[in-house]
Chain A
């Protein structure tokens, strides 16, 4: 059974770069059938798609974040990562990683999520 687990600092200072890693277990990140996605949920708000990467390096990003976000895949470690630069308090959120089955609208499974707070 595929499992995903987010990891990274829970506190980031304003203007710095938020970096998170998602470790995939129980399956290969190199499957051509799946893409890898980051989604976030600010406190008290709804879900927001951040972006997607397939294992070959193609990426798609939320236009509102595109200038600040990078999602990359490390097949040797079976991990993918999120980098969000120049963060502000508005980037405080629970960040989820997930798997997206290509050719469908299926985001499944998701990680448990990790809270990242942007504060000095």
Chain B
């Protein structure tokens, strides 16, 4: 199974909004509403930010939102804050009953 495609890096200034894309195929992202997003600060446990495309777990800021169109899912962070600087990974269920992650995107807050 091939990893989902994410941009290697994105950046934004405090207060701005950024969007991270996650592109797969009709056998994963496009075929199921089982896409999730994780925030990972190096040395710490990854944290679930969005599940099932657009659901936010309790305790996650409403500045984080998710969506999907066709084979591409997106994570949008609004009102960017310094603490948002981290690596972000998407994940999707696949038609083979497996899970696949994206290559990760490094978010830099300028």
Q: Judge whether A104 and B103 touch: CB under 8 Å.
A: no
Determine whether B15 belongs to the interface, using a CB cutoff of 8 Å to chain A. Answer: no
- Chain B, interface size: which category? 20 to 34
Measured CA separation A64–B96 after assembly (Å): 12
Q: A60-B98, A105-B36 are in contact. Are A111 and B45 (CB under 8 A)?
A: yes
For A64, what are the chain B residues with a Cβ–Cβ distance below 8 Å? 1
Give the total number of A-B pairs whose CB atoms are below 8 A apart: 68
A46 lies within 8 A of B101 (CB): yes
B residues 29-77 near A (Cβ < 8 Å) are 34-36, 38, 40, 44-48, 51-52, 57
Residues 56-110 of B contacting A (Cβ, < 8 Å): 57, 89, 91-93, 96-104
Residue B3 is within 8 A (CB to CB) of chain A in the complex: yes
Tell whether, in the assembled complex, residue A105 and residue B92 are in contact, meaning their CB atoms are under 8 Å apart.
Answer: yes
Closest residue on chain B to residue A49 by CB atoms: B99
Residue with the greatest number of chain B CB neighbours at <10 A, chosen from A37, A96, A104: A104
Question: Among B3, B34, B47, B96, which residue has its beta carbon within 8 angstroms of that of A104?
Answer: B34
Residue A74, interface by CB 8 Å? no
CB distance from A114 to the nearest CB of B (A): 11
Contact: B97 with A60, CB < 8 Å?
Answer: yes
Which of A46, A52, A60, A108 is within 8 Å of B48, CB to CB? A108
Could you pull out 25 A-B pairs where Cβ atoms are within 8 angstroms? A39-B101, A46-B102, A47-B91, A47-B101, A47-B104, A48-B101, A49-B91, A49-B98, A49-B101, A52-B99, A60-B98, A63-B96, A63-B98, A64-B1, A104-B34, A104-B51, A105-B35, A105-B36, A105-B51, A106-B36, A106-B52, A107-B36, A107-B46, A107-B91, A112-B44
